[in-house]
Structure 1
């Protein structure tokens, strides 16, 4: 496994660390009044990381078997043209998510209401984590990109598990760091959390646009390279 692959996976994991489930909801949980229950928030983060790990393993091993079954079908020019069209389409759609035009995101506000309206019991937090992860499955483009990179690499089973586990750990590191600072310096970190909350509600649309744009660019670039349109 090359250093370049590991760096690419780490970069994608950091992008995934800014999603609703891995950053937005933890910030809202940390803003709840009163003493922070560390064990319960770690339960939430562990649940969402474990869900991502399970999905990733299923995709890597299932995708590998599917690729073997399809043989070279994915390298056929019609398929590559379809991939190019998908990439260009995602890149074009990304411009619709303009933070200046969409100052508030109703979907994000609904997630904030869910995060702050529960009783913070372990069962409720596990349910919230699973709900957030399930809702993000269709838009987990960085993770799907990471799984694709890993599936195409010549990596054994134990290494796949280790790399994906590391990926999921990196995904929740920012939230864990915020939790540690919140426990150690509650008065000092609260203004930062409030600013993060404001930024999340105002910029969530443009963040999704960036994710779609990057994913579209990568898909289109890969298709162009394999089509050899420019020599």
Structure 2
């Protein structure tokens, strides 16, 4: 492993630092309140990083096997049509979700941002972005093509995932420093998010449905 390899993998990790989903969820958790922001953000980032790490390990240990398995899976008509139907259902149902009342929104906000809710946010982020994480797949493919031993690629993979979640960490550090200065604006953002929580869920379901539909169209 040489400096050129480190430069390429580091550059791809920097590209992955610009994830709009990671940044969006970080701002959402920030808006829910300063007292539990750090713990919620920690659980969320650990969930995303651990899932990406295991995905990277699976790809590094069996890149060819995984590619062959996914290819055969999508070529299966039952599997392809099942994914397509799920995508269509998500897309259609997304148009029926309306913003809830203020009271129900408050209850939904409190429940959905507990530990389980934050973990589910992390899992959803992984599922929505893993299929289109081109920089991550590029880094794994590069390490695989160079024939690195596990002693070489494992630290690289860990470092990649740490770099990927650094922007939310920096946002948290900045917030703890000047949180009182921007508290009014954060609370205002919180009210907006609560009022439009139904609309945000609708958009997420719509986008997820379209991703599933377009990913299997060629296999139907």
User: What range describes the TM-score normalised by the shorter chain of this pair?
Assistant: 0.5 to 0.7
How many Å separate the matches in 2 of 1:8 and 1:108? 35
**Alpha-carbon distance, 1:207 to partner:** 2.5
Which runs of no fewer than 5 residues in structure 1 stay unpaired? 31-36, 117-127
1:153-194 residue CA offsets vs partner (Å, 9 max, x unmatched): 223333322222232234566676666664213335433332
The aligned counterpart of 1:28 is 32
Match of 2:141 among 147, 153, 171: 153
* 1:4–1:162 CA distance, 2 compared to 1 (3 A): closer
Q: CA RMSD in A?
A: 4.3
Q: Show the 5 A alignment for 1:125-164.
A: 128-129=114-115, 131-136=116-121, 139-140=124-125, 141-145=127-131, 150-151=136-137, 153-155=141-143, 156-164=153-161
Task: Please report the TM-score for the alignment, with normalisation by the length of structure 1.
Answer: 0.60
Partner of 2:99: 103
Distance 1:71 1:51 in 2: 24
Partner of residue 3, structure 2: none
TM-aligned CA deviation for residue 87 of structure 1: 5.4
Identify the residue that residue 89 of structure 1 maps to in structure 2: 85
Secondary structure at 2:131 match in 1: helix
**In structure 2, how many angstroms separate the alpha carbons of the residues matched to 1:194 and 1:176?**
23
Unpaired runs of at least 5, structure 2: 1-7, 144-152
Runs of at least 4 residues off by over 4 Å: 1-8, 66-71, 81-84, 105-111, 146-149, 171-182
Q: 1:99-145 CA distances to partner (integer Å, 9 max, x unpaired)?
A: 564223999754422479xxxxxxxxxxx44x234334653323432
2:24 equivalent among 10, 14, 18? 18
The one of 180, 188, 191 equivalent to 1:191 is 188
1:61 alignment counterpart: 57
How far apart are 1:61 and its partner, in Å? 0.7
Q: Alignment length, in residue pairs? A: 199
Q: 1:215 aligns with which of 205, 211, 215?
A: 211
